[in-house]
Chain A
Amino acid sequence: MSNADDFIRVDRRTTIKWLAATMAAAYTGCSSEEKYLGDEIPAAQRAPLLGVAAESDGVAYGGDPDRMNPVVPWARTMTERQLKTVSRLADLILPEDERSPAASAVGVPDFIDEWVSAPYAQQQEDREIVLAGLEWLEQQSQQRFDRSFAAADEKQLLDLVDSIANGTSREFTQQSEFFRRFRWLAVGAFYTTEEGMADVGYIGNTPIAGEYPGPSDEAMAHLAGVCKQLRLPIPAGQTRA
Chain B
Amino acid sequence: MNIKHKTLFLVVSSVILVGLALPGYSATPKKGKAKTISTAVISDTARTIAPYFSPATAKKMTPDSKGFIQRWLLLEPINKPNRGNTVFTDSYLRTNFSMEYFPNQFTVLPKNGDKVKVGEQELTWHALESSLFNVKLFRFAYGLRKQYYGVIFWAVTVVNSPQEMKNVRMAVGSNSASMWWLNGKEAVLLSGDRRMVADDCVSPRLTLNKGKNIIRGVVINGPGMSDFCVRLLDEKGQPIKNLTITYE
Asked if chains A and B come from one complex, the reply is: no
Residues of B within 8 A of A (CB): none
